[in-house]
Structure 1
Amino acid sequence: MADHQQNHNALSLPHSVFSADWVRENEKIGARHLGVSLYQLMERAGEAAFLLCRKQYPDARRWLILCGHGNNGGDGYVIARYARQYGIEVTIIGCGDENTLPAEARQARENWINNYGTVLPHDVRWPENCDLIVDGLLGTGIQSAPKQPYSDLIKMANHYGAPIVALDIPSGLNANTGIACGEVIQAAQTLTFVALKPGLLTGQARDVIGELYYNALGLSRWLAEQKTPIQRLTIASLNQWIKPRRSSSHKGEHGKLLVIGGDIGTGGAIRMAGEAALRTGSGLVRVLTRHEHIGPILAARPELMVQALDRESLAQGIAWADMIAIGPGLGLSDWAKDAIKLVAESEKIMLWDADALNLLAIVPDKRQNRIITPHPGEAARLLQCNIEQIESDRLHSAKELASRYGGVVVLKGAGTVIADDSGQIAIADVGNAGMASGGMGDVLSGIIASLAGQRITPFDAACAGCVVHGAAGDLVAQRQGERGMMATDLLSEIPKLVNP
């Protein structure tokens, strides 16, 4: 099994992501390229899953395998055969009409029956003492809520009490969007085959996939020759964007960044954005805010240059800056609207966040020199729909935003999606639930704006910034746990990530 060896760690997951439809349409070509049949690929998938189950649960002696009416079920029959050969007690519950099984799955089922006997019907009483469940019910083709009897079987599996290993994707999870429209398997481990699918990385995926493993089934060399539609971003991606500095470089070469925001009551937002930019390596950061915030910000972070925001300071700041960020704590007053109007006249690269996006939703425009960083609520206002529609297909929502507003879009959330108008798309596979707290977006804005000011293209700056931000949150979580994490906790971690 050497040539399709199991990967056991998130860092060894591939960085290319393919839609489930692409995998279904192309795996035949891949198999042909490798000189194997689709049934041989199924055998490999079953063997890989069996080995993962053995490794994760060496003491499990009684396995319950749930097999659906597609190739996912076929993988389950192969695993059952391996488990029986190993002396494990196996119960198979089959679902759907055996006559409608795809050819490979039917062959796997017949191999099981000819060698070991029975497949129990879906409405059978479950054995009481199983110590592992294998989910081979529904594969990557599902587009809506699981129907009966699948939804009942998923519910029973989740309530049974034994750990569940899901084949390819937890049954009920949409492989392209990461959304579950009905019942969904709560897996302890998920082993996905051939290619990573986007639905494993965004949406509700993290709630249900458990630990994610991957096996290319020997097709990795063939996959490497295919055009990658979606990039998966991790800490390992940072080296391609962030290079060591020349010893003789000076502060003027590392970007002059102008950050604008912080209305009365929200001065902290603009302070965090400014400090995050300094920590990310900006040479000079100038903050334009309410007069009342100048003293507190300078006392907290004297390295920032701080002035009161008015027409004159803004015109000077725009002329001075390499990069502009506007929005953190900006508010929606006339003070804010005047600032947005002046900034919008500039041709310089800029980032709009928070209230800048709420103002953009009122007076929409399309431009290529802008990065926007909406959370789902802001995205819904920008696309004039509701949050459920944004979250139901996050990749589509990000593409739609890029097409309507131009430039680069960072759709924040679990599995942040980065997209641009030319069709580039990436998913940041970093971050954790501890980051769901106030101020995190302000820190992200500062990081991305800083990188864009350091002569990194807007799309790459957005990608790198999302990775630095999420990975900083992960370092904080490792140190102190997720609950109680504050946005300022990330600031001391940023330099570790921007120094390759």
Structure 2
Amino acid sequence: MHTLYGGAAVKETDRRCENEYQLSVAALMSNAADGLYQRIHEIRRTHQLSGETVIVCGSGNNGGDGYALALKMKEKGENIQVIAFAPPAAGEPSRYAIALARKGLEPALYANNTNVCDQWLKQAALIVDCIFGSSFDTSRPVYNTFFRVCGEINDASAFVLSADMPSGVSADDGSVALYHDIPCCVKADATVCFGLDKVGLHTYPGAEYAGDVLLEDIGIPPEAIPDNQKVFLLDEEVASYLPKRKLNTHKGSYGRAFLFCGSPSMTGAAVLSAKGALRAGVGLVSCAGVPAVIDVLRNHVLEPIFCTVGETMSGDMDALGACARMDELLPKQTAILAGCGIGNSIGYGKVLVHLMQKASCPFIIDADGLNMLASETGLSVLQNTAKRIPVMITPPPAEMARLMDATIQEVQSTRMAAAKVFARQSGCIVVLKGAGTVIADPEGRCAVNASGNPGMAKGGMGDLLAGFITGFAAQEIEPFKAACIGVYYHGKAGDIAKAVLGEYSLLPHDLETLLGKAIAHSFKA
């Protein structure tokens, strides 16, 4: 799978390049400038841009890349202007800025020439953002000058090209700087990423500001890249996690999934989760529910074993009888899914806790199951279960916020950090759903998904996904890998459906028959 890195890995790589491979900062800067130069001419050709290029440089190495680019373009006789957002730092940035001035192009300091610089940005055909790059820390204060220059760049009609990272976006997790609670960063049409692809370009909200990500080789030796600071971007290579099926096998060879999903008002959750599990290739699926749920399941899904449990006079699940009935089936199961569409009644909650305490196989919790656990007592049950068996939770942002006692905005602004923190604290594998779904485990592994589309933002889509992941986990595929497989191919099926139906009319049940097609595509490729 494609590997992503954060700012710390970039700094460590730069250090190793210089100290262990005699590849200086100056050489890397020159290579970055060469790459930018080539990309600029490709962009100009593709978008038929004929006006002036304005390069905005910060004080550090990203600014140095910009000064090196400006020097190259000046020597080629090209029409450019250079804005110094801040004076160049000592070392290579200063050396390139001085060389540029000697060629007759003195960078204009933004603070002293604000109106002139703003006018350049308004009239530019192409703006190159070299202010901060991958070194930006979104937790540090943002001042009015940066807010203003970001606004001028973003409001300009020019094509905006960022060098390495859009300035104001964290390479570590895609979080964005805030100025009085207003997002403050450059919104690029494309980002030329040097050497190491960055996490922040592929996880939201950062991915929204990156535009097209263009990877540029600047000569970094692979051995110089640290191996312990990476995040995976899910792609077709997740197929390698799928075990090859042998000829001499039977249904018992591919696991048993037990689903506690659905309630009288949400029977569709039970149907979609069951279909998802079956499409993952699990050998047997058992579905437990009250008569209203089982009746709908029988009419829509042919393959499962059905476990009908009783109800109380008030219409709640008979917890005592249900637990006794389910206990008969649990010992043979190889994965359990609970929570999809079960509501929030006391009886269903008691059964959920009972299953968690009795389970001896991977346990996946989704939707209403997570809402029931969003209390001090519930989180204690979750943590204790995760000490015994692998536990996976599949929350959308709202459910993640409830579990973390945070706001949705806090979760969404630092999606990767939220998933990693809760995984570490709870001992669970976290599948934080949404654009760029994040998968994190307690050991620090992390993956970001790039498949899928806005047409999948429909009720029931998460039920299908939860069942799909459970079907893979039931086949004794390591749970983190099962999550990666399920998330990627679920999104891939959505992309296939979008090509036929478009984003507006795409529905969860459209994906069900395409899950197999999505997997088959990997083996044809």
User: What's the TM-score once normalised by structure 1's chain length?
Assistant: 0.91
Matched, 1:16 2:11: no
* 2:147 counterpart (128, 147, 151): 151
* 1:107 counterpart (95, 98, 104): 95
Structure 1 residues 102 and 356, CA gap change in structure 2 (3 angstroms)? farther
Deviation per CA, 1:317-338, whole angstroms, max 9, x where unpaired? 3233221100100111123113
Distance across 2 between alignment mates of 1:491 and 1:80: 53
Unaligned runs of 5+ in 1: 1-13
Is the Cα contact below 8 Å between 2:58 and 2:87 reproduced in 1? Answer: no
Q: Which amino acid aligns with 1:147?
A: Y
* More displaced 10-residue stretch of structure 1: 51-60 or 453-462: 51-60
Distance across 2 between alignment mates of 1:467 and 1:42: 36
Within a 5 Å distance, the mapping from 1:373-384 to structure 2 comes to 373-384=394-405
The residue that corresponds to 2:346 in the other structure is 334
Matched, 1:359 2:372: yes
Deviation per CA, 1:362-418, whole angstroms, max 9, x where unpaired? 322311421111222222222222223323332332222223322322122222222
Is the Cα contact below 8 Å between 1:31 and 1:41 reproduced in 2? Answer: no
Q: Which amino acid aligns with 1:326?
A: A
Is the Cα contact below 8 Å between 2:366 and 2:393 reproduced in 1? Answer: yes
* 1:121 counterpart (109, 128, 131): 109
The residue that corresponds to 2:28 in the other structure is 41
Structure 1 residues 223 and 473, CA gap change in structure 2 (3 angstroms)? farther
Matched, 1:83 2:85: no
* More displaced 10-residue stretch of structure 1: 440-449 or 83-92: 83-92
Q: Which amino acid aligns with 2:365?
A: W
* More displaced 10-residue stretch of structure 1: 255-264 or 192-201: 192-201
The residue that corresponds to 1:440 in the other structure is 461
Q: Which amino acid aligns with 1:453?
A: A
Within a 5 Å distance, the mapping from 1:59-458 to structure 2 comes to 59-61=48-50, 62-98=52-88, 101-122=89-110, 123-125=114-116, 126-127=119-120, 129-142=123-136, 143=138, 144=140, 146-180=142-176, 181=178, 182-223=183-224, 226-309=226-309, 310-344=322-356, 345-362=358-375, 363-364=378-379, 365=381, 366=383, 367=386, 368-458=389-479
The residue that corresponds to 1:7 in the other structure is none
Is the Cα contact below 8 Å between 1:235 and 1:471 reproduced in 2? Answer: no
Matched residue of 1:140: which SS?
A: helix
Is the Cα contact below 8 Å between 2:232 and 2:446 reproduced in 1? Answer: no
RMSD: 2.0
Aligned residues between the structures: 484
Distance across 2 between alignment mates of 1:353 and 1:476: 24
Distance across 2 between alignment mates of 1:443 and 1:223: 42
CA positional deviation for 1:342: 2.2
Is the Cα contact below 8 Å between 2:270 and 2:293 reproduced in 1? Answer: no
User: What's the TM-score once normalised by structure 2's chain length?
Assistant: 0.87
CA positional deviation for 1:199: 1.6
Is the Cα contact below 8 Å between 1:275 and 1:304 reproduced in 2? Answer: no
Q: Which amino acid aligns with 2:419?
A: A
Matched residue of 1:252: which SS?
A: helix
Is the Cα contact below 8 Å between 1:232 and 1:429 reproduced in 2? Answer: no
Deviation per CA, 1:420-442, whole angstroms, max 9, x where unpaired? 22222222232222222211211
Deviation per CA, 1:74-132, whole angstroms, max 9, x where unpaired? 1112222333344431111221134xx14111112122222242322321432354211
Is the Cα contact below 8 Å between 2:273 and 2:467 reproduced in 1? Answer: yes
Matched residue of 1:248: which SS?
A: coil
Distance across 2 between alignment mates of 1:489 and 1:188: 33
Is the Cα contact below 8 Å between 1:30 and 1:222 reproduced in 2? Answer: no
Matched residue of 2:374: which SS?
A: helix
Distance across 2 between alignment mates of 1:121 and 1:281: 62
Distance across 2 between alignment mates of 1:249 and 1:171: 55
Distance across 1 between alignment mates of 2:409 and 2:431: 18
Structure 1 residues 223 and 437, CA gap change in structure 2 (3 angstroms)? farther
CA positional deviation for 1:223: 4.3
Matched residue of 2:214: which SS?
A: strand
Q: Which amino acid aligns with 1:164?
A: V
Is the Cα contact below 8 Å between 1:233 and 1:463 reproduced in 2? Answer: no
CA positional deviation for 1:449: 0.5
